[in-house]
Amino acid sequence: MEKESKEDWARSKFEIESIEKCDPPTGMEGGNWYQYVVGQQGSQITGYKSGTLKAVTQHVNEFIDGLNDRSAKGYSPYAHNTRGRK
């Protein structure tokens, strides 16, 4: 099995796998909820957002832009950013 380098990881981008209309998450009210899934090399992140399909898609694109930016700089996209905290 080949070991991945930091450069290989950085070149692999998070992408939208799906955005689907869904029922509100437990404890939430209102309509127009969407479940989205973004993925990278078999890893997936699932989230929920209310709004129009256009607004949710914009939110997800901004979210993955941030993940990809952090990943390209060598930071784990899964790590909590604690820089600047004392």
- Asked whether residue 80 is assigned to any structural domain, the reply reads no
* 61 token code pair: 């694109």
Count up the domains in the chain and report the number.
1
Q: Is the pTM of this model over 0.85?
A: no
70/25 Cα distance (integer angstroms)? 28
Q: Domain residues for 33? A: 6-72
The closest alpha carbon to 63, from 36, 34, 32, belongs to 36
- Asked whether residue 77 is assigned to any structural domain, the reply reads no
- Asked whether residue 1 is assigned to any structural domain, the reply reads no
> Is 73 in contact with 25 (CB distance < 8 Å)?
no
Q: How does pLDDT run along the chain (86 residues), one tens digit per residue?
A: 445 455 554 557 999 999 999 999 999 988 899 999 999 988 999 999 999 999 999 999 999 999 998 877 776 655 665 555 55
